[in-house]
Amino acid sequence: MSYTDPDFLVRREHCAGEAGGAATTEYARFASFQKARLKKVHAVVTTAGTTTNHGFDVYSGTSSIGSIPLGSAAAGLSAASATLNAAMSALGRFSVKSLADAAGKAIIIYEYEVTPDAVQTS
């Protein structure tokens, strides 16, 4: 795919489902067979947290690269990480880990783009 290909400019999303329910636990893994760049991670609250420690840390493999603080946000409210621009190697993975609040839950959505040097099956 070249930089002039219209598909190069398309932002993609992966809804990884609901995360949360146990403190400091990894949830919502996202892996790809091709190289990608994670732009942001979005969270939509489904169950409000009971403390100010409700939220998620964003991980690339085993390294923390960002966070999404939610506090006591009510169901339906959303928040996002800062712009991450984190590269993912082929067969790499991103995930989130819940913060200290064990009650809060949210739907996690990864906003990413496929990098132009990605190798696709022919």
pLDDT of amino acid 110: 96
- pTM as predicted: 0.86
pLDDT of amino acid 4: 62
Q: How far apart are CA 122 and CA 104, in angstroms?
A: 43
CB 16: neighbour CB atoms within 10 A? Answer: 18
Contact 26, 96 (CB under 8 A): yes
Set out the domains of the chain in order of their start, with CATH numbers: 11-112 (2.60.120.260)
Please give the share of the chain, as a percent, with pLDDT higher than 70.
86
pLDDT of amino acid 118: 52
Q: Is the pLDDT of residue 21 over 60?
A: yes
Is residue 6 classed as helix, strand or coil in its secondary structure? helix
Residues β-bridged to residue 58: 66, 96
**What mean pLDDT value characterizes the chain?**
88
Band of pLDDT at residue 80, cut at 50, 70 and 90: very high
